[in-house]
Amino acid sequence: MTKNVFVILANGCETIEAMSPIDVLRRAGCHVTTLSLSSSVEVKTAQDVIVKADKSIGSVSSIPDAIVLPGGLGGAKNIAASSPLKSLCKSILDNGGHVCAICATPGVALAPWGMLHGKRATCYPSFEKSFHSSTTYVDEQVVVDGQIVTSAGPGTALPFSYKILEVLGMKEKASQLSKGMLYL
């Protein structure tokens, strides 16, 4: 069965942290839908790359298997400020799906939303200061704890993407892709 994944494209997000998961997940055969946080589907990344989302978050009517929340401080702040996105992430977790966040976003959005309580997680260095005392910061590239997948930053975007495939039950596909993409 094809896995459905949403990737958030927020103004100010890190380009590589958004594009790497989109690329890897689509190569694996996942149905990836990119979402903007406003009615405009045009988004400007932290590196001034203009990208066009498939649709806006307001038009979502389904719950995916996973959602990817890229980082970049501007993008993370925009993600954290989105009440519809917070509600969607809660619904995904309630339905057994995965919330996957990278860079600043675990500290700027997931921690304040209460989604890291009692979890092990990673993020871009210094953003762990936002973690609740019940959250254990782990200095690793990618950390999985239950339905939450976190990653450290731009340089970890590919291992983050492969780990998302693994938690979606596509470990063999993740291994094939990492070899085929020369990620050693």
Beta bridge partners of 33: 6
Beta bridge partners of 151: 102, 142
User: CA separation (Å) from 125 to 48, 102, 170, 179?
Assistant: 23, 11, 29, 29
Residue where the block lists tokens 């989302």: 53
- Is residue 36 within 8 Å of residue 57, measured between CB atoms? yes
Q: What is the DSSP letter of 65?
A: S
**Is 89 annotated as catalytic?**
no
- Is residue 102 within 8 Å of residue 149, measured between CB atoms? no
Residue where the block lists tokens 């976003």: 105
Q: What is the DSSP letter of 30?
A: -
Catalytic residue, from 30, 89, 103, 123: name it.
103
Positions annotated as catalytic residues are 103
